[in-house]
Amino acid sequence: MSTAALRVVEREARVFRRLWRGTVFSAFVTPVLFLAALGLGLGGLVDEGGGRVAGLPYLVFVTPGLLAATAMQTAAGDALWPVMVGTKWARTFHAMVATPLRPRDVYTGLMAWTALRTTLAATMFLIVGAALGGVPSAWGLLAVPAAVLCGSAFFAPLAAYSATQHTEVAFPLIMRLGVMPLFLFSGTFFPVDQLPGWAQPVALASPLWHGVELARSATTGTFDGHSVIGHVLVLVGVLALGWYAGTCSWTRRLAG
């Protein structure tokens, strides 16, 4: 990352100092509430009913799922409306590229900033998850980079897309028809092999599933070398393609 992009991170951090309350709520309080309700409350029912999910107590199963899903939601939210604010509503990005910053620096800088925030949120979530008993292995620390990688794999292509948009009408639809279904069906709350046959390949194609599986390997400390490499490759691949598309679309939008 260039030092120019770091300037963008600095700017976002300054803004954040004023608006941290809302972010803390959506990035931290909400996932913890989900963990308590579904991990503990519903988990109690699951464990009573039939025992284990994929060989794990339900709380242990669902904690890494929520961790990766939270990273996805934070990153997706950051990649939509704030981009519209910067390119159209307040035009702050246009002001940035009037300085030595290039469009790709702005884009990369925002992605770095989001990664920083996901790191923070994932770490806090992991601490709470561990306290509740959802993280049996010390390897669980590796779930943080896994979640951040997963979040970035969503940010890169989505921010590339939103720079091509001139209104925000499609954004709520992306969140509700895209992000929300992924959240609910990517192996977060129940194993994907329970899905009907036609839906399984779809879930496996979702970057979130790869993120959830990586995080789950970490928190449970069970690594299967081949599949770990496979998940990382998929996420890095999506991130790289997204980043390439993003540098193009941001240049077109801001310097075109």
Q: Tell me 221's DSSP state.
A: T
Site stretch for another protein (CB under 8 A), options 4-12, 23-31, 129-137, 146-154: 23-31
Beta strands per DSSP E along 118-212:
none
125 near another protein, rule: CB under 8 A? no
User: What end-to-end distance do the CA atoms of the chain give, in Å?
Assistant: 23
Please report, for residues 5, 14, 54, 101, 171, the alpha-carbon distance to residue 11 in angstroms, rounded to integers and kept in the order given. 10, 5, 44, 12, 24
191, 185 contact by CB (below 8 A): no
Task: Return left, alpha or beta for 51; rule: phi > 0 is left, psi -120 to 50 is alpha, else beta.
Answer: left
Residue with smaller CB distance to another protein, 107 or 185: 185
Shortest distance, CB of residue 242 to another protein, whole angstroms?
A: 24
Q: Which of 1, 13, 33, 229 binds another protein (CB under 8 A)?
A: 33
* Amino acid occupying residue 51: G
37 near another protein, rule: CB under 8 A? yes
Would you tell me how many other CB atoms lie within 10 Å of the CB of residue 175?
A: 16
244 near another protein, rule: CB under 8 A? no
Number of residues that this document lists for the chain? 256
Q: Which of 17, 100, 166, 173 binds another protein (CB under 8 A)?
A: 173
50 near another protein, rule: CB under 8 A? yes
Q: Tell me 192's DSSP state.
A: G
Shortest distance, CB of residue 145 to another protein, whole angstroms?
A: 27
Phi, psi of 163 (to 5 degrees): -70, -15
Residue with smaller CB distance to another protein, 31 or 211: 31
Q: Which of 13, 95, 177, 240 binds another protein (CB under 8 A)?
A: 177
Site stretch for another protein (CB under 8 A), options 48-56, 93-101, 154-162, 209-217: 48-56
Shortest distance, CB of residue 176 to another protein, whole angstroms?
A: 4
